[in-house]
A and B are shown apart, each in its own frame.
Chain A
Amino acid sequence: MLLELIQGTEGGGLIIIQDSINYSGRHLLMSFINAALKRDEVVHLLAFELHEEDLKHELDHSCFQRLTFHNAFQDPLGWNEQPPFTVHQFITKELDSLLTPTHLSKPVTLVIDSFSWILRHLSPPSVCKTLQRLKKGGAVKTTLGLLHSDMHHRNMVGSICHLATSVVTLVPGHQCHEAVAKTIRRAKSGTISQAEERFSFNEDMSVKVQSQPIQVGAPQTDAGDAEVDPTANLTFNLRLSHQERKAKEKLALPFVFSKEKKSALLHSGPGSGRILYEPDANDDYDQEDPDDDLDI
């Protein structure tokens, strides 16, 4: 499902890549950008956390020309003079004017790196409103963004992810060059599909999925519904027949001290040993106090 998302066969919407300090999602974001550029789409990159120089190393030189870079990294709060783009310009009106001078025939992809920067400075409702407008229509076909989910309260992460058509959550894999992507996709019909895939990167930044997706599909319905009789398939008998009960009652238990047992123990048969004790003259044996001879 990850490959389908990267290839853009799903038809746009809002795609969110969630990462954490354990695994950075920027590499995957670059693969998305590369794939979109190769499809001859117009890509606008709104970069808060990325310098243009770093980007040149990551992307194909041939494709780089078709990318429009909006530098929000240099001065996002307007501390220096003449900021190219500040975080407070992240409203529908400003974004529209940013995206208008493009070729109308080609689909437009807006990439935001990252939502975390915006969420730290703008209120969640206004960010959600802007994203909803972007999703609903206008010039932009696909909005793609990175979200550092461990930096925000989970309610905030949840409300942003509710807006998304697809959410890719990244966790590190067992081997160092691998990672696991959990993808949740909402189709227009309302059905939700999930997949968990192991992936790694090729030399040219494309994604290689290592294993077949583990479909997590529809929730299982059989569990817990039918009343199961716990006594159905036992290896032992829970009830006794009349005969069995009689036999059980006959049996003398080993710890019950019957008369026969007592006599058998006291009057031992011939050939067994006995203890004879004759008190010595010096023995001052007192039945009342056996420790009498001890000098305490």
Chain B
Amino acid sequence: MFAELNAILNTSPDSFKQGEFILVSDRRADASFLVHHFLSFYLRAGCKVCFLGLAQSFSHYNAVSQRLGVSLTQAKEKGQLLFLEGLKESLDVLLGRTSDTGSRALDFLRDPAVGLRCLYEFVQASVSDSGDGGEGGGGPPVLLVDDLTVLLSLGVSVGSVLDFSHYCHATVCSQLKGNMVMLVRCEGEEDEDEDGDEEGSERLLKGLTHQCSLTLHVQGLPTGFCRDIHGQVEVCWRKTQKDKPPNQKKLFQYKVHDKGASFFARGTSSAVL
């Protein structure tokens, strides 16, 4: 959890806005540090977290979270964290082995054209059965996805992913007043192509941007690689807030450290001042 980012977003584990859909995206940079931030943030806040880990293994997230001061293994044992290990389970489905957990979440791999209804049903079941799992019952449920672009690579269409995110939004954010964080990765340059024949990830990003309430868009520096500034992050509040108009944007530069990250206004890095 990064204190500086909490200050920017005006939130803390003790008091955070409920019912938010936060979209994290990146282009020519790596935004996974923000996923780790939100994972440790919501675990500290005492929320019941459902994590769809499609990009990395559990031990990877566990190792990073340990550096941020949160133990995923403990949270999992307590029942606060429900982790879908996408890498392992997708292999089970593809090789035709019977899954250890017996979940049908990744059944779409057999026929990607049918859509992500089974994955949604897994999410719905895991966020709504609160009360039976230890300390997880206190806070609102949270869904984290890392990352949605993997689904596109697995043959799912953009429309199906948008339907999935819509249903998660309706269930987690609106019905249960929980929060949702999703990561999308975009490749290549942002092109103003008027034809509308753009790549899947671009269309996915646009569709999700229309759905979400807050976007964090991580980019590499336009001037190229730098040792002291790892990139810039654009924060955009898409919904109306108190005494603030919608579509408000702020741009920060960041540097990821060993155990955290620092955010600063453009051009105010300690390396250049």
A binding-site residues for B, Cβ under 8 Å: 21-24, 27, 49, 51, 53-54, 58, 73-77, 79, 116, 120-121, 148, 150-154, 172, 176-177, 200-201
Contacts A76-B166, A151-B203 known; list 18 others, CB within 8 Å. A21-B210, A24-B247, A53-B19, A54-B174, A73-B170, A74-B170, A75-B167, A77-B163, A79-B167, A148-B206, A148-B207, A153-B195, A153-B196, A154-B195, A176-B245, A176-B247, A200-B245, A201-B245
Chain A residues whose CB sits within 8 angstroms of the CB of B166 once the complex forms: 76
Nearest-CB distance from B162 to chain A (Å)? 7
A154-B196, A176-B248 known; A21 vs B209 contact (CB < 8 Å): yes
Q: Using an 8 Å CB-CB cutoff, how does the interface string of B163-188 with A read, 1 for contact, 0 for none?
A: 10011001000110000000000000
B159 at the binding interface (Cβ < 8 Å): yes
B246 at the binding interface (Cβ < 8 Å): yes
Expressed in whole angstroms, the Cα–Cα distance for A24 and B162 within the complex equals 18
B28 at the binding interface (Cβ < 8 Å): no
Chain B residues whose CB sits within 8 angstroms of the CB of A150 once the complex forms: 206
Expressed in whole angstroms, the Cα–Cα distance for A258 and B194 within the complex equals 66
Judge whether A120 and B210 touch: CB under 8 Å: no
Judge whether A172 and B247 touch: CB under 8 Å: yes
Q: Which residue of B lies closest to A19 (CB)?
A: B210
A27-B240, A151-B203, A153-B196 known; A177 vs B117 contact (CB < 8 Å): no
Q: Which residue of A lies closest to B167 (CB)?
A: A79
30 cross-chain CB contacts under 8 A: A21-B209, A21-B210, A22-B247, A24-B238, A27-B246, A49-B211, A51-B174, A54-B174, A54-B239, A58-B240, A73-B170, A74-B170, A74-B175, A77-B167, A79-B120, A79-B121, A79-B167, A116-B210, A120-B159, A121-B159, A148-B207, A148-B210, A151-B203, A151-B206, A151-B207, A151-B210, A154-B195, A176-B248, A200-B245, A201-B245
Nearest-CB distance from B107 to chain A (Å)? 14
Judge whether A120 and B174 touch: CB under 8 Å: no
Chain A residues whose CB sits within 8 angstroms of the CB of B246 once the complex forms: 24, 27
Judge whether B174 and A75 touch: CB under 8 Å: no
Chain B residues whose CB sits within 8 angstroms of the CB of A58 once the complex forms: 240
Count chain A CB atoms within 10 A of each CB in B120, B210, B240 and give the residue with the most: B210
Nearest-CB distance from B74 to chain A (Å)? 34
Expressed in whole angstroms, the Cα–Cα distance for A177 and B241 within the complex equals 13
Chain A residues whose CB sits within 8 angstroms of the CB of B174 once the complex forms: 51, 53-54, 73-74
Rank and list the top 6 A-B pairs by shortest CB-CB distance, nearest first.
A153-B196, A51-B174, A177-B245, A21-B209, A148-B210, A21-B206
Interface size on B, residues (CB 8 A): 30
Q: Which residue of A lies closest to B239 (CB)?
A: A54
Judge whether B207 and A51 touch: CB under 8 Å: no
Expressed in whole angstroms, the Cα–Cα distance for A58 and B209 within the complex equals 20
Judge whether B206 and A152 touch: CB under 8 Å: no
Expressed in whole angstroms, the Cα–Cα distance for A58 and B19 within the complex equals 16
CB neighbors of A among B137-168 (8 A): 159, 162-163, 166-167
Expressed in whole angstroms, the Cα–Cα distance for A150 and B203 within the complex equals 9
Nearest-CB distance from A270 to chain B (Å)? 69
A24-B247, A120-B162 known; A51 vs B210 contact (CB < 8 Å): no
Judge whether B210 and A152 touch: CB under 8 Å: no
Judge whether A79 and B159 touch: CB under 8 Å: no
Expressed in whole angstroms, the Cα–Cα distance for A76 and B115 within the complex equals 14
Judge whether B196 and A24 touch: CB under 8 Å: no
Q: Which residue of B lies closest to A75 (CB)?
A: B170
Q: Which residue of A lies closest to B198 (CB)?
A: A150
Chain A residues whose CB sits within 8 angstroms of the CB of B206 once the complex forms: 21, 148, 150-151
Nearest-CB distance from B104 to chain A (Å)? 14
Expressed in whole angstroms, the Cα–Cα distance for A153 and B225 within the complex equals 35
Expressed in whole angstroms, the Cα–Cα distance for A167 and B247 within the complex equals 22
Expressed in whole angstroms, the Cα–Cα distance for A176 and B251 within the complex equals 14
Chain B residues whose CB sits within 8 angstroms of the CB of A151 once the complex forms: 203, 206-207, 210
Expressed in whole angstroms, the Cα–Cα distance for A23 and B245 within the complex equals 11
Nearest-CB distance from B188 to chain A (Å)? 17
Chain A residues whose CB sits within 8 angstroms of the CB of B211 once the complex forms: 49
Chain B residues whose CB sits within 8 angstroms of the CB of A76 once the complex forms: 166
Chain A residues whose CB sits within 8 angstroms of the CB of B209 once the complex forms: 21
A76-B166, A201-B245 known; A49 vs B210 contact (CB < 8 Å): yes
Q: Which residue of B lies closest to A27 (CB)?
A: B246
Nearest-CB distance from A28 to chain B (Å)? 11
CB neighbors of A among B89-138 (8 A): 117, 120-121
Q: Which residue of A lies closest to B205 (CB)?
A: A21
Expressed in whole angstroms, the Cα–Cα distance for A44 and B45 within the complex equals 40
Expressed in whole angstroms, the Cα–Cα distance for A73 and B167 within the complex equals 8
Count chain B CB atoms within 10 A of each CB in A75, A151, A177, A200 and give the residue with the most: A151
Nearest-CB distance from A201 to chain B (Å)? 7
Nearest-CB distance from A202 to chain B (Å)? 11
Q: Using an 8 Å CB-CB cutoff, how does the interface string of B227-266 with A read, 1 for contact, 0 for none?
A: 0000000000011100001111100000000000000000
Expressed in whole angstroms, the Cα–Cα distance for A172 and B249 within the complex equals 12
Chain B residues whose CB sits within 8 angstroms of the CB of A200 once the complex forms: 245
Chain A residues whose CB sits within 8 angstroms of the CB of B121 once the complex forms: 79
